[in-house]
Amino acid sequence: MPRISDSADVANSAHIGQGSQVWHLAQVREDAHLGPGCVIGRGAYIGTGVRLGAHCKVQNYALVYEPAELADGVFIGPAVVLTNDHNPRAVNPDGSLKSAEDWEPVGVTIGRGASIGARAVCVAPVSIGEWATVAAGAVVTHDVPAFALVAGVPARRIGWVGRAGVPLVPDEGDEGQLRCPRTGALYRLTTPDQLEEVDPT
């Protein structure tokens, strides 16, 4: 059974997966879908129809606006914001208040195992590749390749990381390969901006 704090606001139509936890003052909106084993921290917001895979962690006060999609094992750090409006305005050109029909939401898509550091902002529409890491405080305005380590405002690639989240180092045995210093796993550059696992499991 999921564990939901008495102070959390979870819509009746939201699906909370087996073993998931929703902590104090978090809000999970209508038709949101949380896979099994997810953790939603204090004060976090999960928008209408947002989809989370299995074992995702959304830390305190993070804002995950619809129509975001998070694959299995995604980490969202404290106070991260996933936006959903490429040209935000409170009002229309005539000064009238915008309604739901006056804009088209765009989302952030995050691949399996990726991590978004504390207070980072991902400006939709943008895609974060699997096992990538976005450094704390970064502002992501362009797609991030799988296994990339990005930082800065706007975010730029500053290295590569493996599944363990540790920066990769050159492999002494092969100029075109990188190695994870924690697990020993090997990765190969297929282009200057694309990395793939060697014999992934």
For the chain, give the mean pLDDT: 95
Question: For 70-93, what is each residue's pLDDT tens digit?
Answer: 999 999 999 999 999 988 999 999
* pLDDT for 139: 98
Domains of the chain (ranges, CATH numbers): 3-161 (2.160.10.10), 165-201 (no CATH)
Under-50 pLDDT residues of the chain: none
CA 78 to chain centre: 12
Q: Order of strands across the sheet with 186-191?
A: 169-171, 174-179, 186-191, 194-197
149-163: b (≥16 Cβ within 10 Å) or e = bbbeeebebeebbbb
- Check residue 175 and give its pLDDT: 75
In the prediction, which pLDDT does 55 show?
Answer: 98
